[in-house]
A = this chain, B = another copy of it.
Amino acid sequence: MHSAGPSSIIGVVLDMKLTLIGFGVVGQGLVAILTDKAAELRRQHNFAPQIVAVATRSRGSLLHPDGLDPQGLLTAIAAGHLDHYPDAAGLSRGLDPLQIIAQSGAAVLIEAAPSNLQTGQPALDHVRAAFAAGQHVVLANKGPVAVAYHDLVARARAAGRSLLFEATVMAGTPALRTATAGLAGCQIAEVSGVLNGTTNYMLTEMERGLTYADALAQAQQLGYAETDPSADVDGWDAAAKAVILGAALFDQALDLRALPVQGIRHLTPADIAAARAAGERWKLIARITPQAAAVAPARLPLDHPLAAVGGATNAITYTTDLLGAVTLIGPGAGQRVTGAALLADLLAVHQRVSHRSIS
């Protein structure tokens, strides 16, 4: 570490009780990472996270104020339902998320359940309840921030708690933290990014000769695209990320439904060939300025930093006053990749709590 941080000074390991709402791919990934890295987190960060509650929509819920066994959680959910988790004194089953948030005694709520991009629900209610209960919030899903960023920031401030959502933009590739911490002191004039891996994969394959339909079928086969691919190919996933970047970096309150959003559905092999003939390449670009945001395919010259990013990889370029262009390239999806973002956010909360505890 290039800073002699306070946790290093005191050398005391701090427990942190966590509630996890949603226990699908992302939630299970986080639990697996916390298990794999338990010794490393304790040694390097004096950080000892402890899951006290897990809630799912249809596969049960568990709360134990003294902590749940991570491996037991993974085994139970692999068997299909949290009811398979072994009984123990003090264990509560079947509470709903709001009951759990009120009763958990957790320091942090991790919201990793699917949420509606139009309403932010049900996650939005969970986040509000967590702040009301004095908990920090780490988000894996885009809904609450895309819909109600300013309301949530106000509640976080009033509660003196953190609202963190690194996972929502490029998963573990630190698109938000690079802007807010790395580029602190710079004014960002514009952000442009390849923020949807599925469409970038498809465009890369179309450059290799596939039709749109074949590229989509291949993306679906690989698990990149859903059976209904519209969130990706029509640009809405990238647009929600643009709304979040606009909120987090420019304090904008954009309405996702009002954003100019264009996907890649209309791109033909002839379009791809025309770009190639001109020494250019199609990319689905989200562009955010302090005034506006939009998503549309664009033809970029091959030496543009975003043009070189192929396959499912994501990339983002910040145009700043002091540095000019700074570009960050990395994966934008995946179980461990998203888990890495949640862990980075948890460590940021841990650092904040550590700072306070020794003051």
Which A residues are closer than 8 A to B by beta carbons?
A: 1-4, 6, 8-9, 33, 37, 40-41, 45, 153, 156-157, 160-166, 172-174, 176-178, 180-187, 248-249, 303, 305, 308, 310, 320, 322-331, 336-337, 339-340, 343-344, 346-348, 352, 355-357, 359
Contact = CB atoms under 8 A, between A and B. Distances in A.
Contacts of A174: 178, 181-183, 326
B3 A347 contact: no
Contacts of A157: 4, 8-9
Contacts of A331: 323-324, 326
Most buried by B among A4, A305, A355: A4
Most buried by B among A181, A182, A352: A182
Contacts of A165: 2
Contacts of A178: 174, 177-178, 182, 328
Contacts of A2: 163-166, 176, 180, 248-249
A3 B348 contact: yes
A323 B340 contact: yes
B184 A182 contact: no
Contacts of A356: 355-356, 359
Contacts of A336: 322-323
A156 B348 CA distance: 21
Contacts of A153: 4
The 7 closest A-B pairs by CB, nearest first: A174-B182, A185-B343, A359-B359, A326-B330, A4-B156, A322-B340, A2-B248
Nearest to A187: B40
B322 A163 contact: no
Most buried by B among A163, A164, A184, A339: A184
Most buried by B among A166, A185, A305, A357: A185
A161 B38 CA distance: 28
B344 A173 contact: no
A248 B1 CA distance: 5
A337 B323 contact: yes
B172 A323 contact: yes
A322 B305 contact: no
Contacts of A176: 2
Given A1-B248, A3-B164, 18 more contacts: A2-B165, A3-B180, A37-B185, A172-B186, A173-B323, A178-B178, A178-B182, A178-B328, A181-B344, A184-B343, A185-B340, A185-B344, A308-B308, A320-B340, A323-B330, A323-B337, A324-B331, A356-B359
A347 B310 contact: no
Given A308-B305, A329-B326, A340-B323, A348 B163 contact: no
Contact of A303 (B310, B322, B340): B310
16 contacts: A1-B180, A4-B153, A9-B160, A172-B322, A174-B178, A174-B181, A174-B326, A181-B344, A322-B337, A323-B330, A323-B337, A325-B330, A329-B329, A352-B355, A355-B356, A356-B359
